[in-house]
A = this chain, B = another copy of it.
Amino acid sequence: MATITKKELIDQIADATKQKRVVVKKIVQSFLDSIIVELGKNNRLEFRDFGVFEVKQRRARTAQNPKTLEPVHVPPKRTVKFKVGRLMKQTLSDNQPAQPAQQPPQ
């Protein structure tokens, strides 16, 4: 298990697509930036086979300051959920790492 960075992936893609590294870098960065911008607008991003990014909203609520017992406004919070797409799911199930303790299905 290794950690792959954006830089390593850009090198891979430049090799695979025979495009200049500088062009690949610009496009990959623009792609990642665009996703952030779209999620910021509450938009959902659907990449067939890959997966879906969508914003989940936690509603604002009123909590209590435990010392003063005064009501405190907790602002709404947004986070991103990623849902695994079909091809990714299939790749993950096909390439199960070898497990010595694993037994064949019965």
Identify the A interface with B (CB < 8 A).
Answer: 1-6, 9, 12-13, 16-17, 19, 23-24, 26-28, 30-32, 34-51, 53, 55, 60, 70-73, 75-82, 84, 87-89, 91-97, 99, 101-106
Contact = CB atoms under 8 A, between A and B. Distances in A.
Nearest to A16: B30
B55 A92 contact: yes
Given A6-B46, A6-B48, A27-B27, 20 more contacts: A3-B44, A3-B46, A9-B34, A13-B30, A13-B31, A23-B23, A24-B27, A27-B28, A28-B28, A28-B31, A32-B47, A36-B91, A39-B91, A42-B97, A60-B101, A72-B105, A73-B103, A75-B96, A76-B102, A78-B92
Listed from nearest, the 3 A-B pairs whose CB atoms lie closest are A82-B82, A40-B91, A78-B92
